Amino acid sequence: MGTRTETESSEGCITFAERTASKYGETAMNLIAQLEAEQIAALDKTIPDFKPGDTIRVGYKVTEGTRSRVQNYEGVCISRKNGKGIAGSFTVRKISFGEGVERVFPLYSTNIDSIEVVRRGRVRRAKLYYLRARRGKSARIAEDSNYKPKTGA
């Protein structure tokens, strides 16, 4: 049969792959990043630079009936997911009355009133799930006394 599929190329013809790449490739990703940046700007929240190992205090809005108040949740950040995007989240672990308690917070949640970094921790992992098996002094994280914030974007 003499029919040509769209993936074959001949002189002066653009292949299906080339057309798809030019149509959806970089522009689609730029569009998604642009929409995400607009949503983040509309929320007007300032998120401090923190990473796993840092002890942070999260002010979370709690609604009880008709009243609303801010409850602080302080603990060690053990993971961050999806980076700094609109879908990002982080997990905070604390020991409450001898029992380990973890809570996952969406980074840009409307219920988060404030995020404050209490101290910087020095760790070599991105996910500190090994702290779940540790008790007492072995669960401590060394403080990073010479922390330098990232410059640039």
Helices (H), ranges, the chain: 16-43
Q: Please tell me the distance from the alpha carbon of residue 63 to that of residue 105, in angstroms, as a whole number.
A: 16
Least Cα distance to 94 among 58, 125, 48 occurs for 58
Side by side, the strands of the sheet bearing 112-119 are 99-106, 89-96, 67-81, 55-64, 112-119
Report, at the CATH architecture level, how domain 54-139 is classified: Roll (2.30)
List the domain boundaries for the chain: 14-44, 54-139
Per-residue pLDDT of the chain (153 residues; tens, 9 = 90+): 555 554 554 556 665 555 555 555 556 668 888 888 889 889 888 899 999 999 999 999 999 999 999 999 999 999 999 888 889 999 999 999 989 999 999 999 999 999 999 999 999 999 999 999 988 888 889 988 887 777 765
